[in-house]
């Protein structure tokens, strides 16, 4: 399933987050692997300082695996379904792990890419 995540970097954690991204340790030890780095590469910072990204997660509870990794740096404000579950091939059982190559959130991701500014502030 894909989720639209809205978060805010915790006070004093911006530098640590940037370092974790730069040295590719963000999410180290998680089954989600490089998904964290991908999410930060596509995340957008909105004028109010919040950060949004689309995340793929297969947990029964949204972001159950990822939550502790994100909460080290972010206050998670909102986690919403990025599209209707009734149309998700993974959720309906039509094709398990379909989210890996699915374009079901392409329009949402395109709109998001045109919103705010890129969140990623450092090189790497």
Cβ–Cβ < 8 Å for 8, 77: yes
Identify the band that residue 2 occupies on the pLDDT scale cut at 50, 70 and 90.
Answer: confident
- The pLDDT tens digits for 101-124 are 666 677 778 888 889 999 975 444
pTM over 0.85: no
Structure tokens given for 101: 């190559």
Give the helix/strand (H/E) hosting 56.
Answer: strand 51-56
**DSSP bridge partners of 54:** 4
φ/ψ (deg, to 5) at 104: -60, -20
DSSP, collapsed to helix, strand or coil, labels residue 51 as strand
Distance of CA 117 to CAs 37, 43, 46, 66, Å?
A: 17, 9, 7, 24
């Amino acid at each position: 399933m894909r989720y639209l995540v809205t978060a805010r970097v915790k006070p004093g954690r911006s530098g640590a987050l940037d370092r974790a991204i730069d040295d590719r340790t963000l999410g180290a030890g998680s089954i989600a692997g490089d998904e964290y780095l991908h999410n930060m590469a596509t995340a957008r910072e909105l004028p109010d300082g919040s950060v949004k990204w689309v995340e793929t997660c297969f947990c029964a509870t949204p972001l159950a695996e990822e939550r502790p990794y994100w909460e080290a740096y972010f206050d998670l404000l909102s986690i919403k379904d990025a599209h209707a579950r009734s149309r998700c091939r993974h959720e309906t059982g039509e094709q398990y792990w379909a989210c890996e190559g699915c374009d079901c959130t392409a329009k949402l991701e395109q709109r998001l890419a045109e919103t705010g500014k890129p969140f990623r502030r450092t090189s790497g």
